[in-house]
Amino acid sequence: MDNKAKKIIIAIDGFSSSGKSTMAKELARRIGYRYIDSGAMYRAVTLYALDHGMIREDGTVDTEALTAALGDIHIDFLPCADGQHTLLNGRDVEQEIRSLRVSSSVSPVAVIPAVRHALVAQQQAFGKERGIVMDGRDIGTTVFPDAELKIYVNAPAATRARRRWLELQQKGDKDSTYEQVLENVMTRDHIDMTREESPLRRADDAIDLDNSDMTIEQQDEWLIDRFNHAVGK
């Protein structure tokens, strides 16, 4: 097989709102690979749990009920003009899973081992044919430890909170303040890094990217260069 035809797995890990989804999506589009947003899968499970009363007033999760319901939760991605939309049991939930309501409850759901095992298995199935760009927290360490290209994206919490807040504003969410979003980002950083099950951790063979001072275009070019290098072009 020549290098041009060689399909690889690209794992992009990093904190929330680090811009990794945007760059992963654009890279996949340019190289003709499939893009999978693993965070969207945790968000969809969280939305299901919220809608089925499995998240209590105090924010704790009814783990038993959610574990029992995992077989009833089907997540898929629908290619659209603007990238792709997340489907939860056939329903387009792309907007809903980005709300602060879901963002605030996703961390306790993502620490449940049964949830992680189910989603990791599905993520690995998506990567069977290779030719995939997947972003998340544990892609280079747990989901695809053999990925040919691993990127670890980092940027300060304040930079990331500002990005997420602007994104929410643009989507018409005028209720969430910057301070709320910053607090949410910092809380999730802490939980993501300190949880027992698949914490956010840089894979030893990952390439670091601090994109704080990069434009989207610079970021995209940087990534294409790394891709070309990984496939030997």
Among 49, 192, 219, 223, the residue binding ligand DC under the rule CB under 6 A is 192
User: What residues contact 212, with CB distance under 8 A and at least 6 apart?
Assistant: 155, 156, 159
Residues with Cβ within 8 Å of residue 14, at least 6 apart in sequence:
20, 135, 137, 151, 152, 153, 154, 200, 209
Quick one: 22 or 62, whose CB is closer to ligand DC? 22
Residue 42 touching ligand DC (CB under 6 A): yes
| Contact track, ligand DC, 59-98, x by CB under 6 A | ----------------------------------------
Written as one letter, the residue type at 97 is I
Examine residue 39 and tell whether it contacts ligand DC (CB under 6 A): yes
Check residue 136 for interaction with ligand DC (CB under 6 A). yes
- Kindly tell me which of 43 and 163 has the beta carbon lying closer to ligand DC: 43
- Choose which of 12, 115, 137, 184 interacts with ligand DC (CB under 6 A): 137
Among 10, 11, 12, 16, binds ligand DC (CB under 6 A): 16
Q: How many residues bind ligand DC (CB under 6 A)?
A: 14
Which is nearer to ligand DC, 130 or 195 (by Cβ)?
195
Task: Supply the minimum distance, in Å, between the C-beta of residue 188 and ligand DC.
Answer: 4
Q: Is 163 among the residues that bind ligand DC (CB under 6 A)?
A: no
Q: Which two tokens stand for residue 31?
A: 């190289």
- Min. distance of Cβ 119 from ligand DC in angstroms? 8
Q: Which is nearer to ligand DC, 39 or 127 (CB)?
A: 39
Q: CB 76 → ligand DC: shortest distance, Å? A: 17
Between 94 and 133, how does the x/- string for binding to ligand DC read (CB under 6 A)? ------------xx--x-----------------------
State the SS3 of the chain. Answer: CCCCCCCCEEEEEECCCCCHHHHHHHHHHHHCCEEEEHHHHHHHHHHHHHHCCCECCCCCECHHHHHHHHHHCCEEEEEECCEEEEEECCEECCCHHHCHHHHHHHHHHHCCHHHHHHHHHHHHHHCCCCCEEEEECCHHHHHCCCCCEEEEEECCHHHHHHHHHHHHHHCCCCCCCHHHHHHHHHHHHHHHHHCCCCCCCCCCCCEEEECCCCCHHHHHHHHHHHHHHHCCC
Q: Which residues bind ligand DC (CB under 6 A)?
A: 16, 38-39, 42-43, 106-107, 110, 136-139, 188, 192
